[in-house]
Amino acid sequence: MIQAAFSLALQSITQPRQVARWLIDLRLSREALVTGFALVVVINSLLFGVSVLLDPAPLPWFLARPAVYGGLQALSLIATLLGLYFGGRVLGGQASIQDITVLVIWMQILRALIQVLLLVLLPISAVLGGFLLSLTSVIGIWIMVSFVDEAHGFSNLLKSLGAIIIGLFGMAVVLSILLILLGIDPSGITANV
CA distance 70 to 76: 10
pTM: 0.87
Which tens digit of pLDDT belongs to each residue from 110-154?
999 999 998 888 888 888 888 888 999 999 999 999 999 999 999
Question: Between these two residues, 146 and 193, which has the higher pLDDT value?
Answer: 146
**pLDDT given for residue 76 in this prediction:** 86
**pLDDT for the residue numbered 154:** 95
Which range scores top for mean pLDDT: 50-59, 83-92, 163-172? 83-92
pLDDT tens sequence across 41-70 = 999 989 988 887 777 677 776 677 778 888
What number is the average pLDDT over the span 28-42? Answer: 96
pLDDT tens-digit profile of 4-14? 888 999 999 99
**Model confidence at 155: pLDDT above 70:** yes
Query: Quick one: pLDDT at residue 61?
Result: 66
Q: In Å, how far are 47, 115, 141, 158 from 130, measured between CA atoms?
A: 18, 12, 17, 28
Residue 10 has a pLDDT of 94
